[in-house]
């Protein structure tokens, strides 16, 4: 059974594994070495990916296990894939999820619209951001076409998509490095479903994370580019797919949307938070209600306490960017 479990780690979402990361996932790294000798895995850099034969076997074993997973391919940026996967595993072991469910998705396939060029919705002057987000004609058209105050009950996802397509909204594919969807008190929410919940975000807190591999060169403009995409994605959910229930769940509890930049070391995370916090809440103004933080892989690796909840985990490890800093 161990052979199947290890091979099935290499799905479309997590195509590249090293022996160290296989061990972090609770499996035997020696099995991967054996699968490589059999020709089911291919050695790649410091790790493995599926071979062509391995992809065929993956599909058979996934079907036998009643899994809908698709086999992973050969990734291009091995260092980035390794970092994304390690971050996902560290998040999975970092907190339990209070009486609920937790999904950590690597490179989720999301999209937003309208496809507005970032230069048209913000500018930066003397260390501050000026947003022209809601004034943009395409954003204003979407907001007026899909009122946020309406109820999504009884709406059809197919009909919504047809209406969006009729607007020539120019859909943009968007993939943050990590998306963590956390739902507490599952017993109170499992019956609540909406057909229009396209990405499974209803009644849940959402954490979006991008890895910053060169934090010294990561400036306010790059942060604003991330915030522009983040804001457009939240806009689509608030106005199109989950109006009236995206930021407040069906039991009138807050549902958080938080953004994280992850660096290698704690010092890098602290320095980055210090620089970006100079913009205050203006950094996330079009995404409100939301918050932004930094976090380090270094701290995640040594975190010895498996937190009871998502909130305790963030409180222990994250450094606020938009809470309590200058301009907040």
What are the tens digits of pLDDT across the range 242-264? 999 999 876 677 899 999 999 99
Here the tokens at position 116 are: 């507005």
pLDDT tens digits for 22-76?
A: 999 999 999 999 999 999 999 999 999 999 999 999 999 999 999 999 999 999 9
Collapsing DSSP to helix, strand or coil, 16 comes out as coil
- Are 46 and 133 within one domain? no
Question: pLDDT averaged over the chain?
Answer: 92
- Are 197 and 122 within one domain? yes
For residue 328, what pLDDT is reported? 43
Asked if residue 79 lies in contact with residue 51, where contact means CB atoms within 8 angstroms, the answer is: no
pLDDT bin (cut points 50, 70, 90) of residue 100 is low
Q: How many Cβ atoms from other residues are within 10 Å of residue 166's Cβ?
A: 9
41: in domain: yes
pLDDT bin (cut points 50, 70, 90) of residue 189 is low
Q: How far apart are CA 153 and CA 242, in angstroms?
A: 9
For residue 162, what pLDDT is reported? 95
Q: Percentage of the chain with pLDDT > 70?
A: 93
81: in domain: no
Q: Does residue 192 carry a pLDDT above 90?
A: no
- Are 57 and 169 within one domain? no
Q: How far apart are CA 275 and CA 319, in angstroms?
A: 12
306 or 79: which leads in pLDDT? 79
pLDDT bin (cut points 50, 70, 90) of residue 118 is confident
97 or 77: which leads in pLDDT? 77
The number of domains in the chain is: 2
Q: Which of 75, 102, 137 is the last residue of a domain?
A: 75
Asked if residue 296 lies in contact with residue 258, where contact means CB atoms within 8 angstroms, the answer is: no
pLDDT tens digits for 120-149?
A: 999 999 888 999 999 999 999 999 999 999
128: in domain: yes
- Are 187 and 38 within one domain? no
pLDDT bin (cut points 50, 70, 90) of residue 323 is confident
pLDDT tens digits for 70-91?
A: 999 999 999 999 999 999 999 9
**Domain CATH number, residue 25:** 1.10.10.10
Residue 280's domain comprises 89-320
Q: How many Cβ atoms from other residues are within 10 Å of residue 184's Cβ?
A: 20
Q: How far apart are CA 155 and CA 266, in angstroms?
A: 46
For residue 69, what pLDDT is reported? 93
């Amino acid at each position: 059974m161990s052979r199947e479990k290890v091979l099935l780690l290499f799905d479309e979402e997590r195509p590249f594994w090293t022996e160290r990361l296989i061990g972090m996932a609770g499996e035997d790294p020696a099995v991967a070495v054996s699968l490589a000798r059999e020709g089911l895995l291919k050695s790649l850099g410091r790790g493995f990916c599926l071979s062509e034969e391995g992809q065929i076997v993956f599909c058979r074993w996934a079907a036998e296990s009643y899994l809908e997973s698709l086999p992973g391919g050969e990734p291009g940026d091995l260092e980035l894939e390794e970092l994304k996967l390690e971050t996902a595993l560290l998040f999975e072991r970092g907190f339990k999820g209070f009486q609920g469910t937790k999904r950590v998705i690597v490179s989720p396939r999301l999209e937003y619209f309208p496809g507005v060029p970032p230069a048209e919705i913000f500018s930066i002057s003397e260390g501050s951001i000026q947003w022209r987000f809601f004034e943009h004609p395409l954003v204003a058209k979407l907001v007026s076409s899909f009122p946020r105050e309406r109820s999504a009950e009884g709406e059809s996802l197919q009909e919504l998509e047809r209406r969006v397509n009729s607007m020539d909204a120019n859909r943009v594919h968007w993939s943050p490095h990590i998306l963590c969807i956390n739902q507490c008190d599952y017993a109170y929410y499992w019956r609540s479903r909406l057909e229009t919940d396209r990405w499974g975000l209803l009644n849940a807190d959402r954490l979006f994370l991008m890895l910053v591999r060169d934090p010294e060169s990561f400036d306010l403009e790059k942060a604003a580019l991330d915030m522009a995409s983040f804001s457009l994605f939240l806009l689509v959910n608030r106005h199109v797919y989950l109006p009236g229930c995206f930021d407040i769940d069906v039991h009138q509890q807050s549902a958080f949307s938080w953004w994280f930049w992850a660096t290698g070391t704690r010092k890098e995370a602290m320095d980055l938070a210090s620089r970006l916090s100079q913009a205050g809440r203006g950094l996330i103004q079009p995404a409100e209600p939301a918050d932004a933080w930094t976090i380090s892989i270094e701290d995640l690796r040594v975190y010895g306490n498996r937190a009871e909840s998502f909130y305790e985990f963030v409180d222990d490890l994250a450094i606020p960017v938009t809470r309590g800093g200058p301009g907040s």
